[in-house]
Structure 1
């Protein structure tokens, strides 16, 4: 982007605001702790207290209400099956949230506030939840681009089983010991919540075991849409497709009755599609980074009011910072309201508060993903190097701390030329596949990034947020753990 980007057109600004309004995606959340799956129409789970699997389907509602530092989650289930069995369950959980502002983390402790559950079989046998003890501890690491979280669960349910044997009414107690964990992430491009729960079901007949794995994912993907008519002002464009699906797997073992087996469930919501604006640059038709540039322009991450992109010109620090901030929908800092009107001053002398993108840079500085040049200058018009750009991206992901203990060497032959302050980020970015060495295995950390190369790096960043995190938090854990 060039200096003229400060004068954004009304049309482009409207597109950016539209994307901000439609694109944030609700976080994925597994429906309670029973291994069930749901879409917009139906909920489905498997019940095991009988000693053999019974599939229930029906209606489930999940509501959450946050008040100050308390989150109340309410689950209501009305289920049945073709055999005439019925299940009703209403549970309310309360989570006490503690925000650790300095550490940018949130911890929570969850307990059960109220519960009721009853299963009525077609032969009049009933299972009634008599006692429910539940505890979950969670931590959320709030990073600029993505929130990562992990939780552990310990619980115990006691059911009263009532059934007839001849003319006698029999009452038995069934105890279910529950342990488990859940992990997940949430960002502008999607979210995944994966849960592993082990159930030990103790009955008078013997003890059975069930392990449920369930993963709920919501994601947005960029797709290129061809435009077939030849007599047209454009040849194609991009769209954002939002999808949501949940998969589940039960492994069970009841030696005293039905034996062992595996049951798989899945649900998928109807996808939605949003078309994006069409780029019309005249100087990128044969450029190797054309697909990258067009994607970023369509999303409003790169803003241009010219028909020329200048892909081989140097990328400037301010524009790359703005691009990263827009790519993850980094929230602009809220202005403090005061009775007295004051003129806001820029944080540095080379920034302009009247620039429509100033808030993105201010937020990036506030969240520590970019550093100023010195005490008085941000370095807005400086050409950005690969080391500087990679550092901004990795800091936004909050992953720089995952590098080895200082003193290590990277695999690149020009390791000694990597700036000390960028070495951790270069290492992490290489491990994540965000950057590649050249044919001589040099990373060229101090090379000035062209606008075409910067576009490639930003698109790889988007791909990581769109699909790599989902792969790690769902497929890697679901199928290889």
Structure 2
């Protein structure tokens, strides 16, 4: 399969009736960027039809870390590449007799590039509001400078992003008669993450400098401290097989798809010790701690395939999972694991396994059925390949894969009925996540003993697939890149890909970044 994508769709034209029905589809549950706000805290993450979340953060303005807990309400609107977001915080710490109220209104400007990449710039839309009360002292926000920028690289089945954030807050306490105190908190941070169907992950690393100046007992007391906060925010879809206990039943068990949201905050700080009168000393104390929010998993039962004839087969579990997820389609009771999988069948499965990135539910249009929307219209449909008819049962999948940049064909042909080779399968999988750039050059050398047999166009994909654990080779160290894939091997490969999208890449964006720093 060639890697050079066709510049235009070849004009194999047929006319068929497309029924344009606008419906309200169920929104895929998914954690979205910004669900924790930009204040260095953690939340319970996105959930269906929710705009209020459990929230926690650590405050350092008094010279000691104080944990605030409460709720965060979020309201978002999107229009003309501009996102307006309002965050309302209501937090407290009963032990410290402390409360924190905050309202922030952001405006995010989105710029889309011709290559599919996106840049975002976020700033305040209205004046920010924040008041912190700790014991009998009130800290009022007098000035807040803020900027946040991010870069998003959109790939067929995943969006990678990174960015930086900077802010500087100035608080005042007291009055003219009682003596004013000023506390300045400056934060500088970076964030790295991704969004995709099987989950999302983001790591934020924020460094704080806290400076205080006050008058105590007629003397000026100045102190400075530092803090580091690391946030790890993940959402993952997992499958759990639940057995059906009654013996007299039509099925043995069912897979449940569960979504888990987990947010972890770790902090360390170096702050001065204070004497009995509350005056800072030259002694610097180091403190650290962590917070964690986990949500109750949302659960959805999947379909139960009939693969009793495959009991004991080495790929039985992989096949059951793909049928349960409706990645494999058709009559499962006659599935032949030793039959070769065609290129059309493989791409049809990959379009389901490597789904497009879910959109933020807040930006989904709420449409209703109308008579006009149900009206059938005649549209001209062009196939991207001269050997794929628009009437083929696989046309929609192949066309979608082409439009998303997952497949490109070879000389205007796709060869849909030919068995797919391992090399071509790896090209499709790696291209779907856009990781070709991980390879050192266009034709890297892998550690497989039959490296020279890997087609030139599949060298990058084979290298990356080995690096991320999609393939390991056989017991003798051979990849066998030109071997035709059986449906059993395809099931194992696709399920391995899904597991990578669930867990493998998540470790890179959480543990990997934290350990690096």
Q: Is the TM-score greater than 0.5?
A: yes
Aligned-pair CA distance for 1:263 = 1.8
User: 1:345-384 maps to which residues of 2 (within 5 A)?
Assistant: 345-355=382-392, 357-375=394-412, 377-384=413-420
C-alpha distance in 1 between matches for 2:211 and 2:309: 71
Match of 2:165 among 149, 153, 158: 153
CA distance in 2, matches of 1:342, 1:450: 37
> Is 1:174 equivalent to 2:201 in the alignment?
no
Aligned counterparts, 1:462-473, within 5 A: 462-473=498-509
Name the counterpart of 2:229: 212
Match for 2:26 among 21, 29, 40?
Answer: 21
Tell which deviates more after alignment, 426-435 or 47-56: 47-56
Separation in structure 2 between the aligned mates of residue 305 and residue 68 of structure 1, nearest angstrom:
45
Which of residues 56, 66, 91 is equivalent to 2:104? 91
Paired position in structure 2 for 1:326: 352
After TM superposition, give the deviation of residue 307 of structure 1 in Å. Answer: 1.5
Residues 196, 357 of structure 2: 8 Å contact kept: no
Shift of the alpha carbon at 1:250? Answer: 1.4
Corresponding position of 1:433: 469
The offset of 1:131, in angstroms, is: 1.1
Aligned length: 454
Q: CA deviation at 1:475?
A: 2.5
Contact 2:426/2:462 (8 A) holds in 1: yes
Q: Deviations over 1:350-394 (max 9, x none)?
A: 32434454222112112221122332x321101000000010000
Given that residues 28 and 218 in structure 1 are in contact (C-alpha distance below 8 angstroms), is that contact kept between their aligned partners in structure 2? Answer: no
SS of the residue 2:383 aligns to? coil
Cα distance in structure 1, aligned partners of 2:357 and 2:390? 16
Residue of 250, 253, 258 corresponding to 1:236: 253
Q: Sort the Cα spacing of 1:200 and 1:331 in 2 relative to 1 into closer, same or farther, 3 A.
A: closer
Query: Which of 48, 55, 65 is the matching residue for 1:53?
Result: 65
Corresponding residue to 1:79 among 91, 101, 106:
91
Larger relative contact order (CA 8 Å, sep ≥ 6): 2
1:151, CA displacement in angstroms?
A: 0.7
Tell me whether 77-86 or 449-458 shows the greater mean CA deviation: 77-86
Deviation at 1:256, TM superposition (A): 4.9
SS at match of 2:63: coil
Decide which of 428, 437, 440 is 1:392's aligned counterpart: 428
Counterpart in the other structure of 1:270: 296
Deviations 1:194-231 (A, max 9, x none): 21111101112211111111122111111222223333
What is the CA-CA distance between 1:476 and the residue it aligns to?
2.4
Is the contact between residue 27 and residue 218 of structure 1 (CA under 8 Å) also seen in structure 2? no
- For residues 159-308 of structure 1, the aligned pairs below 5 Å read 159-162=171-174, 168-204=177-213, 205-257=222-274, 259-305=285-331, 307-308=333-334
Distance in 1 of aligned mates of 2:393 and 2:400:
13
Q: CA deviation at 1:417?
A: 0.6
Taking a change above 3 Å as real, the CA distance of residues 149 and 338 of structure 1, as seen in their structure-2 partners, is: farther
What is the deviation of 1:479? 4.7
- Give the distance between the partners of 1:53 and 1:478, measured in 2 at CA: 21
**SS of structure 2 residue aligned to 1:449:** coil
Deviates more, 1:265-274 or 1:407-416: 407-416
Task: List per-residue Cα deviations over 1:383-415 (Å, max 9, x = no partner).
Answer: 000000010000000001110024532111111
Tell me the SS of whatever aligns to 1:42: strand
Report if aligned partners of 2:158, 2:356 keep a CA contact under 8 Å in 1.
Answer: no
Q: Which secondary structure does the structure 2 equivalent of 1:21 belong to? A: coil
1:142, CA displacement in angstroms?
A: 0.5
Residue 422 of structure 1: aligned partner: 458
- Does the 8 Å contact 1:60/1:77 carry over to 2? yes
For residues 409 and 343 of structure 1, do their structure 2 counterparts lie closer, same or farther at Cα, with a shift above 3 Å needed?
Answer: closer
CA RMSD after TM alignment: 2.4
Shift of 1:309: 0.8
Unaligned runs of 5+ in 2: 1-22, 45-51, 214-221, 275-283, 359-373
Asked if structure 1 preserves the Cα contact closer than 8 Å seen for 2:443 and 2:459, the reply is no
Q: Structure 1 pair 22/116, CA: closer, same or farther in 2 (3 Å)? A: closer
Q: Secondary structure at the match of 2:62?
A: coil
Q: 1:306 to 1:159 in 2, by over 3 A?
A: closer
Q: Given the alignment, which residue of 17, 35, 39 partners 1:34?
A: 39
Whole-angstrom distance in 1 between the partners of 2:118 and 2:297: 32
Distance 1:51 1:224, change over 3 A: same
TM-score between both structures, scaled by the size of structure 2: 0.83
Contact (CA 8 Å) 1:108, 1:138: kept in 2 or not?
Answer: yes
Q: Structure 1 pair 57/163, CA: closer, same or farther in 2 (3 Å)?
A: farther
CA apart distance, 1:425:
0.3
Three-state SS of the structure 2 residue aligned to 1:133 is: strand
2 CA distance for matches of 1:397 and 1:338?
Answer: 37
- What are the ranges of 5 or more consecutive residues in structure 1 without an aligned counterpart? 1-16
Counterpart in the other structure of 2:152: 140
SS in 2 for 1:255: strand
- What's the TM-score once normalised by structure 1's chain length? 0.89
Distance 2:419 2:212 in 1: 70
* Greater mean deviation of Cα atoms: 293-302 or 304-313: 304-313
Question: Secondary structure of the equivalent of 1:237?
Answer: strand
8 Å CA contact 2:328, 2:349 repeated in 1: yes
